[in-house]
Structure 1
Amino acid sequence: MAQQTAPQALASVAPKLVELTDEVLFGDVWDRAELSPRDRSLVTVTALAALYRTEQLGFHLELALANGLTKEELGEALTHLAFYAGWPTAMTAVTRLKAITEETEGPAA
């Protein structure tokens, strides 16, 4: 996985949070060998969707695609999640996934 970083503009408000995000979360946790970046992305996307953390969801959906998950796999994971985290939560995440994939693939026919 390419090194990810927190938005540096946030450092003026919470420099330690940005530092911890860069050094601990993306510099250590995401690089641990026990899970692949692909698997970490799947866990992260489903957790963010289930907790309705929509502000971070778009970034992590894009990262999940970059880490090798397909639109179909993410769609299936979010469909499965609907039964555990709620229908509106899953529909919100799928709507975001559709918008992201249409930006790169173009609209579906």
Structure 2
Amino acid sequence: MPSNDVRSSLRAIFGDVAPKLAELTETVVFGDLWERNGLSKRDRSLVTLSALIALNQLEFLPAYLGRALDNGVTRAELDEIVTHLSVYAGFPGAISAARVINQVLQERGAS
């Protein structure tokens, strides 16, 4: 089951507009998908960050960056992800992602 922090964040994002979407996100995404045994949470974080960057879904990047750092992804690995994706997903997206990553790292005192 997702933590109370995740639930609170989802409620803040969705409010009363889409309660079923919040419920599905809690139960399917964080209650099931992230708890499967086929990949470690660290590896799931790497895959998720890569997908968000490649799809230019940077609004979601700060939350998943925090989760990735908590799951053991290092600052050096974040650098490699962005550099690697610059070729496959494009320089503008990689530069934008690097900006978001830098901001999150500064906020966490990890830069």
TM-score, scaled relative to structure 2: 0.88
Q: Displacement, 1:74?
A: 1.0
Task: Note if 1:7 corresponds to 2:10.
Answer: yes
The equivalent position to 2:102 in structure 1, one of 90, 98, 101, is 98
Shift in Å at residue 54 of structure 1?
1.1
Indicate yes or no: 2:66 matched with 1:54.
Answer: no
Report the AA paired with residue 22 of structure 2.
Answer: V
- The yes-or-no answer on 1:39 pairing with 2:43 is yes
Aligned equivalents of 2:89, 2:63: Cα separation in 1 = 20
SS of 2:73's equivalent?
coil
Runs of 4+ in structure 1 over 4 Å off: none
Q: What percent identity do the matched residue pairs reach?
A: 46
Task: Report the Cα offset of residue 61 of structure 1.
Answer: 1.0
Question: 1:71, 1:97 within 8 Å by CA — same for their partners in 2?
Answer: no
- Number of paired residues? 106
Cα displacement (A) at 1:104: 2.0
Q: Which amino acid aligns with 1:31?
A: E
Aligned partners of 2:98, 2:66: CA distance in 1, in Å?
13
> What secondary structure does 1:74 align onto?
helix
Unpaired runs of 5+ in structure 2? none
* Aligned partner letter, 1:46: S
Kindly provide the CA deviation profile for residues 4-55 of structure 1, in whole angstroms up to 9, marking residues without a partner as x: 3352131411111000000010000000000011000100001000100011
Structure 1 unaligned segments of length 5 or more: list them. Answer: none
Q: Does 1:23 align with 2:27?
A: yes
Deviation larger for 27-36 or 8-17: 8-17
Number of the residue aligned with 2:89: 85
TM-score of the two chains, using structure 1 as the length reference: 0.89
Cα deviation code 1:50-81 (max 9, x no counterpart): 10001101111111111100011011011001
